[in-house]
Chains A and B, each alone.
Chain A
Amino acid sequence: MSELLSQESYQEFYAESEEIMGRVSQYLTELDGKKQNPNLIDSFYRDIHTVKGTAQLFNFSEIAQIAHAMEASLEPVRRGNLVLSSDWIDSLFACLDLIVRLIKAAKEPSQNPPVEIVLIHFTVSRLIESVVRYFHADVLVAKDTFMTIERQERTSEDLGRLDQMFQSISKNHQQNAPLHHPYLEEPQTDPAIPTEVPMSNPTQPLPIYAEANLTGASGKDDANPPGQDSNSSIRVQVSLLDRLMNLVGEMVLVRNQVLQYSHEHEDFTLLNLSQKLDLVTSELQEEVMKTRMQPIGSILSKFTRFVRELARDLEKQIEISIEGAETELDKTLIEAIKDPITHIIRNACDHGIENPAERRQRGKPPLGKIRVRSQQESGQVVIEVSDDGKGLDSKKLLSKAIEKKLITPEKGPTLTEREIYQLVFLPGFSTAEHVSEVSGRGVGMDVVKTNIEKIGGTVDLKSEPSRGTTIRLKIPLTLAIVPALIVSYQESRFAIPQVKLLELVRVDSAEGQYKLEFLQGKPVFRLRGNLLPLVSLDEVLKEEQGCNLQEKLKNQIENGINIVVLATDSGPFGLIVDEILDTADIVVKPLAKFFKKLLIYSGATIMGDGSVSLIFDVLGIATKANLALNRTRNQDTTQLASHLRARAALESQEMLSFGLKSGGHFSIPLCLVQRLEEFSQSDIETSGNYRIVQYRNAVLPLISLNKMLGFDPSTNEGNVAATSESQKFPVIVVQKCNRLFGIEVNQIIDILMADHEIEDPIHDKPGILGNMIIGKEVSTVIDVLGLIDLITGSNSTSPKKEGSTSGSLSQKNTESKPLRILFAEDTGFFVKQVKKILLAQGYVVTHAVDGEEAFRILESSQPGEFDLVLTDIEMPRMTGFQLAAKIKSIKEFAQIPLIALTTRVREADIEKGKQVGFSRYLEKLKSDQLIEAIQEVSHERTSTH
């Protein structure tokens, strides 16, 4: 018979059988754990019958045997409105698997090993046993049948005996059990049947009934299973659909060209026709896209079984519910998300949901729930997998990330909860062998993230301790056509996929002067208070550097600068483009392999006018501009960035420059400035000797620099107030010792980078540190903190005394070996100031940019190499407190005296400083106090020796 059948009809058989198997396993999934659904049983029965019939026709006797066994075992169920036991369903699943394997082995013998006959026997006998157990039937009958099959007597008689056996078993049951219900009876009125279900596994008490009650009857149970009417659908090769898709893509391009042409020419007929063409093409495109769409349920439904089996293996009780299974996605995308979702669900079962005992302890129902929801949301499909398990333990995550050296210990406390959760996506965060040791959930989550991002999607994770974890995937509907933003740069046009687009910002000269700044020659933009790093296409496409760019942007700002704000893992960045042209649906054409090396392109597209445009790879651009280092190098970017910033701050210093009555430039280090405010004269009140304004529910004392420095001869404030009641004046808000002070100035000029030191320092004039070249101008640097001291009258040391003390001290110094000081400070301005003071005393100074570097230097030093450690408190990576604690914890360094030098001089801080082991806690820019303290401390030390 088989000779008469062509190869083609065999292929047809394989395809159909596989399709049926897929459908049937879905029915089975739905039958599992729910009340009886006669329609489903019928469909199941019919399909299995079809498989049996065709398998016989094509001479696949093993498949026919298994199908027959399944069919026969379902016969009593079909007639008797029974609820299948989970044991029974498992064995049915096993049969299905076997059939699928047999089909595969027949279809591609080279790739699939033949199925062993023993396995078939085993599987079929397992089915029989489960049925027998269900009906409390005589096991001997089953054994007999089992033996028969083992002897491979597969005759039709044999099958008949099997049928008889099932018949007799069920009849036997019907007689003995009074609780049998007729076919059409309402399933809900049948409370007792589940109690009749014999449990093969005592650890799973009554799962079927319990689940049925908990889920409630979902309306879907009664719906007709899909794919019933075989005449209304045909089977089409995927490659044909792919070709159709490509052709439609071409057509969209032609349509675009026609549209563009018709708009350029005033031909109404043409315009009319082209608009019709536009409509038809759009519709065609949509419909053709639909042919490739598959309901996401085709993969999600598999998870029901997957979770079932996993739960059994893990000895947990887990129920999975799926919502929005009808949401449709492009076929290729469905394939692409299968593995990531499997991974997420496995994680949820393995690490998310606790075992029943643990759940009871926490007052949760023993049955854990995983919910998978999918829905369309603004052109994307959102898939949410949530569990009600224990959630992520941020402390454990953190300690693990530190242990894996993904972040430094000091960084830990600064991370927000959300940032900590994101750590699970870092490559190398977790490895398979650590799964059970750590409660963390990040088993290969980086792979999930990479795979989802590969198809243009995004992953997000939320978690609440002991409440559960939710992972959200956003997937584009299709890959072939994507919405994009078209931008221009010089003569070229580029497309940016809109998935990565956050917003568009246009900066013109008015606001740009304040918001667009340069940090180390790199442009940054203040976007609603946050610093947005900017990347210019000049930099990316021409690999141009620094100052050139600064000039260019300054010129460009007159005409306005267009910034495209784009999302990356390490935060948003702004891409400066020449012009923003349009948005368009573009057809993505893959580029040859070698373009991948350039990093910045993800493909190309053909524009309406027929020209080719490149599509930017947003992550690639970020990488090219050194914005996204962590993905490739396994490093914590923020760490690196802060380190780079610290280094940068040393090389030059940001100064706030302002004008006073006398004319000329004045400046203070920007790091001392809290805010810039404007007040009008009418806001001012007087309190004792102070002029104050109310500011943020507190009193802000004002200090007039003009008055302090003697530039304002008419010191009568009333006068000023009278002349300009409503006029606003700028105030620089400075913090000192936890108090705010307002510095009145005439105008704020700019924030400038100063890469020079203070020239000719002035000591005799209070309030002035010296002059400095900032930009091209000479600026007088104001000693704000000193001035505040003068006004508040605190710790004022007379300037006269200073000269004598320091003189005598330095003399003392030269007599013995020079004092060697390790100095940690991250702010360039203070580094220079303090170093100068120390060097003038003849001390040897080694500088570190932060606590961590200081510790490293100390660690690698010879014993006794440093006589003293002088450190700032607030530094990136490792603070002064942490540094002190660390030094004190190591025996050979514990004796080294520590001095803190800081702007943070609150009682609590001083107290804390003492606790961690600082000998002195000093305020910055008090040279005489500093020298005195150093002197005293080093004396104390030598005298104790």
Chain B
Amino acid sequence: MAIAKAERLMNLALCLLGTRRPLTKRELRSSIEAYVESFGKGDHGGHDESFNRMFERDKDDLRELGLVIETVEGLEGDVGYLARRDSNRLPPITLDAEEAAALGLAAKIWQQARLAGAASGALQKLRAAGMPLASGDDAVDAPHSALEPRIPAHEAAFEPLMLACRDRRPVVFDYRKSNAAHPERRQVEPWILECWRGHWYLAGWDRDRNAERVFRLSRITGKVRSRQGAFTAPVPDHVTVRETVEVWAGETATGTARIRLRTGHGYPLRARALTVRELGDGWDELEIPNGRGLDAWLVEFGPDVVVLEPAELRADVIERLRAVAKG
């Protein structure tokens, strides 16, 4: 049976952490059983290419776990590797039981596999470094908010985009705008991922449009591919995904509207009304903030809402109602 990958990675990590001098690839190959078993000791030059590929992948995996692996060039041109203790050590951190409980709650909220794994891995590292068990872990009644937060990230584009944001790598993907029949290829320098109301958005620099753009992850079709090279546009200090999305969602008022609303109906409209006046005939008159998408929302209330002004909003609502009435 082939030696498990975890055992191979663990041995490579311990070798690199344990050594005081850089170890060459040949030394590592001949001293880790999993490599010897698969590729021989390398004395006769066999399997070199497949060993090299596995070795590079293994090093990358360990780096993902946080290991700082240095590549040192020797006098004779041979390359050696080591993970210095001082650059790999966690600085001292002391967390009390309350703080440990808070982090324990936070670590549970990812539903995305990679981040869920990373969160428990981080807790384990902190635990190994002395973080106490939280009182809640002992199933004793803890004086904490009875809250279970969850962050969904079902979109296939989430993980590649998170890595691209992290590593500042340009990406290419097909994107279907909300009202478009067909997706279009977009070349983007990804800046930040933001989750708002349970949906994920990406903000970045759109290379073809030469402008900042916000993308909704659920509208990305197909694979996200990385591109070589660096960002060409400067990354702003403050990125405003949420403000942009709020404008889309019509939460930024651009004026006010006057409507008539049947008594007892339309609670959300009343909740945001600037003024409410009872008309006494089974109807109230409301002044509400007007913004993008208000027409579509008002139509939802059917015959319980009548738009008075502005005229443009009134016309939009009538047009929508006509389309529905026609069927």
A and B co-occur in one complex: no
Report which B residues bind A (CB closer than 8 A). Answer: none
